Amino acid sequence: MIEKQGLYDPAFEHDACGVGFIAKIDGEKSHDIVKDGVQILCNLEHRGAVGGDMKTGDGAGMLLQIPHKFFKKVCSFNLPEVGEYGAGMLFLPRDEKRAKEAIKLTEKVLKQENVKLLGWRDVPVNPECLGEQALSVMPSFKQLFISIKGLSGDDLERKLYVIRKILENEANKEGFPQEEYYFPSLSSRTFIYKGMFVSAQFETFYPDITDPDFESAIALVHQRYSTNTFPTWPLAQPFRYIAHNGEINTLRRNVNNMKAREATLKSDLFGDELKRMFPIACAKGSDSAAFDNVYELITQGGRSLEHGIMMMIPEAFGTKYHISEDKRAFYEYHSAVMEPWDGPAAMAFTDGTKIGATLDRSGLRPARYTITRDGKIILGSETGIIDVPGPNVLSKGRLAPGGMIVVDTAKNRVLTDREVKSMVSRKKPYRRWLEQNVIHLKGLLGTSGSIQVDGETLALRLRTFGYTLEDIHT
């Protein structure tokens, strides 16, 4: 038991979500990475909450690269080469009639969008391991495989994103809420298995994971401790790009601002399809889900993973902080583009090729990593998430407040915080853009003397611009 000392009091200690990943730096896929990911998830079980039946968890899951070898073996239809088709996990209603209606709707929309349906696969599950609460709201499960003529790589991935948003919007119009129609993933690169259970039940519930042909070079895992929402199957993590330990304290402002800027959003990559994807951020989701929604748009809109994270979770960049002028210019420029998503956060992120993690600028959530001599990197919200023999440890470290680490499996490299942010901040001339375009409001109006206040409309204007009693009296 840690004793009270200084400002620290163990009575105020709180647990939080468990997040971690393991990756083979050279991108070599193997079932060993998947098994290690399961072990990490099980070792993080203490970071999740358990329901009154002692078997229902807040949620656990794993994000991996598409297990192409496994899918080719188990699917009853032919699959194209990896990277030339999209695969998705779909949560559907338990009621058989409703599920058939949802499948029919999906096939109808795919046909309208000129998407080729390669086939459906029933997902083998073992619900006997679940608690009563999780079982009572458990969806049914289908895996969907599609291709789009002439598209592969980034173009296919972007189109799959658009298709998923259109499907979700159409399902919502037809009366299917998120709990009855939800894609944990639909991608040509990544695949997600998750649900409302504790981590020890994960491998039992989804026996796919245990197949020796189920291979990946990355495994991002999450054990949920719900802080802002009740547990549900869709809100288990990881989400499509991220897994998050912490809270976004500015969520309402962030989501409202995102809704407001939908009127002015434009993209050469999306064109007219952009409007069909609104709303971007789901107001009914958790803080992590909303963050993932916006991060997905930013990265699919042409920015790199690292760029998007730096925009949304900036490090401290005021003049009193010792950072490079290029980085400061990057953050100052983007502060006019997007407000920060503030709060204590450890954020892991991946697109199936790169995987990394970052901390918020206060560093209130831990993230520690180990790089091994046999070419793996392991990162988690605490040390000891998996056993690594001492002689196999090449280096260890932790993320500093606002720090980041990225693994690029295509280039077989681990990129440090300094390398990542130097590359991103120097990719465009942000310093010159600021010098040429920034307008400082201080002294702009040249007002001297007292300012006349219209007392009759003052209260209305204060409310309009979001002022509160705290703002006025402090």
CA distance 190 to 300: 14
Q: Which two tokens stand for residue 467?
A: 């002022």
CA distance 179 to 282: 13
CA distance 267 to 280: 14
CA distance 123 to 127: 12
Taking each helix axis from N to C terminus, what angle separates 96-112 and 153-173, rounded to the nearest 10 degrees? 130
Which residue reads 């939908």 in tokens? 262
Decide: 155 and 273 in contact? Cβ < 8 Å: no
For residue 203, the surrounding DSSP H or E stretch is helix 202-205
Residue 277 CB neighbours (<10 A): 21
Active site residue 282: no
Cα→Cα distances 308→311, 358, 459, Å: 5, 12, 38
* CA proximity to 212, closest of 372, 32, 351, 382: 32
Residues serving a catalytic function are 17
